Amino acid sequence: GDSVTQMEGPVTLSEEACLTINCTYTATGYPSLFWYVQYPGEGLQLLLKATKADDKGSNKGFEATYRKETTSFHLEKGSVQVSDSAVYFCALSDMIKAAGNKLTFGGGTRVLVKP
């Protein structure tokens, strides 16, 4: 079945440092790929997405490129801020039955940015 593996945290960084969170996936079809972010006590917010190979998703300074050859979707940001402290989830969406698009999530990576 489908699965997503992402690096375990916590990842602790200083403000303005570079962030990379690795994510690899296994899927039988041609999934769409997502990064969601979860702030303390809240639900998940979509950060960015890519729907086909070589697509690059970007938002709020974060980027990720859909790499089919390496089945990866690594999240990067060149200069983090304290407000980027959160848990980040990599996820894939593939079809179920004849219609349906459940999300399969990785375990999440906690990021802590210190001033």
Q: Which residues bind another protein (CB under 8 A)?
A: 4, 31-32, 34, 36, 42-46, 49, 51, 89, 91, 93, 95-97, 99-108
Mapped onto helix, strand or coil, the DSSP state of residue 84 is helix
Question: What residues contact residue 69 under an 8 Å CB cut-off, 6+ apart?
Answer: none
- Taking the complex as a whole, the smallest distance from the CB of residue 50 to another protein amounts, in Å, to 11
Dist. CA 48–CA 31, nearest whole Å: 14
Residue whose CB is less far from another protein, 11 or 105: 105
Nearest distance in Å: CB 104, another protein:
7
* Nearest to another protein of 100, 115 (CB atom): 100
Ordered DSSP codes for 7-60: --S-EEEETT--EEE-EEEE-SS--EEEEEEE-TTS-EEEEEEE-STT-EEEET
Q: How far is the CB of 15 from another protein (least distance, A)?
A: 26
- Closer to another protein at the Cβ: 19 or 47? 47
